[in-house]
Amino acid sequence: MHTTLLHRAAALTAAFALATALAACGGRNAPTEATAAASVPALAASSLSLAAQVGEKMFVDTSLSGSGQMACATCHDPKNAHAPSNDLAVQAGGADLKASGTRAVPSLRYKEVTPPYADLLDNPDGISVPGPGGGFAWDGRAPTLAAQAQMPLLAANEMANADAAAVVAKLKAGPYADLFRQAFGAGVFDDTAAAFSKAGLALQAYQLEDRSFHPYSSKYDLYAANKIGGTLTPAEVRGFKVFADPKVGNCASCHYQGAGLNGSSALFTDFSYEAIGVPRNPAIPANADAAYVDIGLCGPLRSDHPPAAGNTFCGMVKAPTLRNVATRKAFFHNGVMHSLEQVIRFYNTRDTWPEIWYPTVGGKARAKPDANFPSYGLVTTQYTGGTVKKYDDLPPQFVANIDTQMPLDGRQAHSAPPMSEQNVTDLICFLNTLTDGYQPPASAPTTGPCTQ
């Protein structure tokens, strides 16, 4: 969501100052781990509601797929922050597990306060002007977690059930059918549409009630609440500044606002949508067809924003939470990148070194690149001559929709990038503090890239 530079600078500088002040003053207004836990309806399986207990069983039930081999947990692995445990750009599904997805699978963590999609959603920072925001999935087409949970059950390239009746039949014949009746009524299976709706609500209840979907147990959370062991290293503090500074990393413009349960630590997303020109991914089978394009809010999975020239929404996809981002193995909606460092370097050099991110057409490949030619991009061959096909996954009529906020500010090729090498290293250090399950060491480490 766009703001004036002045307002954005004020908002994001204040965001960093607030978090730092909370840690310094004992976190009186920041939630402790106990506060966050108390705000979750249930902390263990034994205390889940009946509906959530049903959802818990459904989440790992492979019989609910057409193949009999895929469950929600297959792609949303609890051991990997409820995201895929592999590094595939897209996952395989379908009745024979040979149908390919078209988008990377996001994490299911920290979805509890996501609002339904709106073309003009108020930004949580209270300053940015309203813009596209909210909803579930990369294009926000599901208004609730329940609606989102129903989509993979029926998708031909995911769990591949023929229809809702097929899902309900499996639930009715399954080992927890009686639990389903206890949760939703003795006659729940008499109405197929109602029973399928309840199935979605069960999965939603499980995600809302089970603390594993929003543990708030990262090093950052300890820092924000000023708990024992919650001190960030100098490198991590510098990285937080890079993250928040609108003139450097500017990550916070899309990835900081948004309170968690009962105002707990930031969700590291403001639910907004941006078009940033992520390179096309040849690893996605659908992309073998040059006519196929994924333009987010304008389709192909949404149909309420037709991709007509002048439609400012085309190319926009949702800004995900950065919590647990360091555990990811595929990044962006098309999974085109596979390391956190590569993602940060894309933001930093998309404009200053476009030839390492996008294909060059008509050039001659060099046998050996120049000594200063970066090796961290998607393209490692240097060309003489030719034209860089920038924004190669966005139709030309929508290039005007590309966000020009820092660090993707359209600066001249081969000019100095917004972030220094130290900035990049420090930012990675800070983003690693967002990983859940942090356990303070007995003594602070004194060596390593993030200690000083």
How does DSSP classify residue 32?
A: P
- Whether the CA torsion 362, 365, 369, 373 is positive or negative: it is positive
What pLDDT was estimated at residue 124?
74
Average of pLDDT values for 130-154?
97
Residue 177 has pLDDT above 70, yes or no: yes
SS3 100: strand
Residue 7 has pLDDT above 90, yes or no: no
Domain 1-34+216-272+320-452 classification at class level: mainly alpha
* Domain residue spans of the chain: 1-34+216-272+320-452, 41-103+138-213
pLDDT tens, residue by residue, 128-141: 789 999 999 999 99
Beta strands at 387-388 and 360-361: parallel, antiparallel or unpaired: antiparallel
Tokens representing 130 are 């309203």
What pLDDT was estimated at residue 82?
98
SS3 409: coil
Instruction: Give the CB-side neighbour count of residue 69, counting CA atoms within 13 A.
Output: 8
Average of pLDDT values for 416-430?
98
Residue 252 near residue 15, CB atoms below 8 Å: yes
Residue 389 has pLDDT above 60, yes or no: yes
Mean pLDDT for the chain?
A: 89
Cis peptide before 300 (omega within 30 of 0): yes
Kindly list the distances between the CA atom of residue 333 and the CA atoms of 89, 101, 281, in Å, as whole numbers in the listed order: 9, 11, 10
- Whether the CA torsion 278, 319, 289, 404 is positive or negative: it is negative
Tokens representing 389 are 């096909």
How does DSSP classify residue 420?
A: -
Residue 219 near residue 430, CB atoms below 8 Å: no
Q: Which CATH code is given to the segment(s) 41-103+138-213?
A: 1.10.760.10
Tokens representing 146 are 């329940």
What pLDDT was estimated at residue 128?
76
What pLDDT was estimated at residue 264?
59
Lowest mean pLDDT among 40-54, 294-308, 426-440: 40-54
Beta strands at 360-361 and 131-133: parallel, antiparallel or unpaired: unpaired
Tokens representing 233 are 């290293």
Average of pLDDT values for 387-398?
97
DSSP string, 33-88: HHHHHHHSS-SSGGGS-HHHHHHHHHHT-GGGSSSSS--HHHHSBGGGTTB-SS--
Residue 267 has pLDDT above 80, yes or no: yes
What pLDDT was estimated at residue 376?
97
Whole-number Å distance between alpha carbons of 439 and 233: 15
Longest dimension (CA), the chain: 72
Same fold, 1-34+216-272+320-452 and 41-103+138-213: yes
Provide the whole-model pTM. Answer: 0.88
- pLDDT > 90: what percent of the chain? 81
What pLDDT was estimated at residue 444?
81
Residue 402 has pLDDT above 50, yes or no: yes
Average of pLDDT values for 137-152?
98
- Whether the CA torsion 76, 227, 449, 12 is positive or negative: it is positive
Whole-number Å distance between alpha carbons of 412 and 416: 9
**pLDDT band at residue 15 using 50, 70 and 90 as cut-offs:** very low
pLDDT tens, residue by residue, 365-382: 999 999 999 999 999 999
Beta strands at 118-121 and 92-93: parallel, antiparallel or unpaired: unpaired
pLDDT tens, residue by residue, 25-80: 333 233 333 333 333 343 344 589 999 999 999 999 999 999 999 999 999 999 99
Whole-number Å distance between alpha carbons of 318 and 338: 19
- Whether the CA torsion 296, 300, 306, 308 is positive or negative: it is positive
Lowest mean pLDDT among 20-34, 99-113, 201-215: 20-34
pLDDT tens, residue by residue, 328-348: 999 999 999 999 999 999 999
Comparing CA positions, the residue from 133, 131, 135, 130 lying closest to residue 116 is: 135
What pLDDT was estimated at residue 90?
98
Average of pLDDT values for 194-213?
98
Average of pLDDT values for 153-162?
98
